[in-house]
Structure 1
């Protein structure tokens, strides 16, 4: 009888403990205000600000990258221009040395040409001399000879060889058309433009003497003229 009573008491005590625990949990739950988050809230606007700043930083980084790339390319262009200018000066100097060493004919006197002056540059508009070898002067009256005009030598039956100066930039339309005795034209690297038909109906043996890779070489080959290097 006593054992049964002791057992019942233990069961009652367990129930009391369980009830107390439940009451404690309920009280804790009631003390927490409704709607109050367990952790500090995050403002959506603050989140957007963070993403905006990340985007801005990325855009600024890209802009800086492209600015650096452009600056590097600009430096490379300047370097190439300087190298080209230096090579041209060296080439012209070498040509002058070779002309002296080989005894190249002196430039024809200005009186053998008709010419115009514009912006400090000379354009040869006609050859009125009678030489078989014509060395066009590099300058006349202190001004560089930069252009051979359209038809300047057209129909000349005497000229066999023409030496163009290192100051020359362009040769006009039909400049030497019909020069049936013309077998050689020496064109410098400075020539960057030769118009259509410049050497039309010249001697079948016509050879354009010009530097490798020059515009004159490209022009001559496109029209089927023979070429050789100086």
Structure 2
């Protein structure tokens, strides 16, 4: 019996997962600029045409990685809020810490997710996943600012949403870029500022009992 071709080793869903895993590995090593469908196919052990067959284009495959990113971010935000208990300020701070934890744990996904030029934002699933992650932050800010569910955000609440997102997003980028290495008491690369300075920053910016 002749040897199986690489494609015959996979079921449909298994091949998709293998290509997504290969794409993440490439992104981690080379960044989005170094990503190619051909290299993803090579790492997955399939024909060069297989990724395009399943995902349509490089943007299609990268969109699947970004979709996973937003879904994972949503879980990290929920976990962070849960660590804050029932106190609205602590839940908001916990979400900020969860955001940076996500970026540390999944840097390839994080650095891709907001690349408008490389993703298919016409994909309804990607838009929904991004909106779900944003809704977690919005709900935490509503509780912190006392804005009831279903009501439009007032100026103070909208400002808090955008400021909180900007702070933790920028912190995450600086951390991943190694800008904090060597600062603090722990060894470089261990993220000591995530555990010490970031909570203090968030507590200082959004203390208990907003006015």
Larger helix percent: 2
Give the structure-2-normalised TM-score: 0.25
Larger strand percent: 1
**Larger RCO (CA within 8 A; separation ≥ 6):** 2
